[in-house]
Amino acid sequence: VDFAAVCGVRKRPRGLLVTLFVNWLVKPFSMALFAWLFFRFVFSPWIAATDADQYIAGSIILAAAPCTAMVFVWSYLTDGDPAYTLVQVSVDDLLMLFLFAPIVRFPVRGASNLEVPFHVLMYSVAIFIVIPLVAGVLLRHWFVGQHGKIRFESEVLPRFAPISVTALLATLVLIFAFQADNITEKFLHVALIAVPILIQVYFNSSLTYGLMRLFKVEYAVAAAGALIGAS
């Protein structure tokens, strides 16, 4: 990610501002509402109260972390503006450093009976965001210094693309492998958990795209932004 691209957002700020508004000020709390409503009331005959607390907390944590791994794929599929998508990813990465832990902690405490220790959230931010982010910035700076920006983007980056895709797929395989027993033993719970998550995805993507249309943001930014806002 080229963080210098963030400076260019001043020319077209509306799309980014709408996406950030939904990502950070709407989505975590809408997910908390949907999860609380479904797991506490609608699905209470099938889900115990202790499980409901865990599912509510997990749903909020999931919703509060904007996805960056698939954003460029969504931008490509919707004929989005790749340069603007780069800016959105860059800003989201920066904001996650400061907003993820506090935003997750308070909805989880309010919607469930669980207390997520603040230091656990900070460790998660450090391990999964700060370390990879700093490593990426340092590696990019070193490669650009050694080979120049043009060669870096045309030769070096393409070599890392298969590694990134492979790592993403391997992560998904490992997650499902380690959770195989839970998935098979609690298949009904898995299906029920998907309901509020799908509702919040459609709700937030529709809200984002509607606000984009309201503020007359061009399609190349609005379409990708709607998917980013719901991720």
What span, in angstroms and rounded, lies between the C-alpha atoms of 198 and 221? 23
Task: Give yes or no for a contact between 60 and 26, defined as CB atoms under 8 angstroms apart.
Answer: no
What span, in angstroms and rounded, lies between the C-alpha atoms of 103 and 119? 14
What span, in angstroms and rounded, lies between the C-alpha atoms of 208 and 20? 10
What span, in angstroms and rounded, lies between the C-alpha atoms of 63 and 53? 16
Q: Is the pTM of this model over 0.95?
A: no
Task: List, in order, residues 6 or more apart from 143 with CB less than 8 Å away.
Answer: 152, 156
Task: Give yes or no for a contact between 36 and 56, defined as CB atoms under 8 angstroms apart.
Answer: yes
What span, in angstroms and rounded, lies between the C-alpha atoms of 120 and 116? 7
Per residue of the chain (231 residues), give pLDDT as tens.
555 566 666 777 899 899 999 999 999 999 999 999 999 999 999 999 889 999 999 899 888 887 776 777 778 788 888 778 878 877 887 888 888 888 888 788 777 777 777 788 788 888 877 888 788 888 888 888 887 888 877 877 777 777 777 887 888 899 888 888 888 889 999 999 999 999 999 999 999 999 999 999 999 889 888 888 777
**Apex 131 CA angle, 104 and 107, nearest 5:** 0
Q: 3-230 belongs to which CATH class?
A: mainly alpha
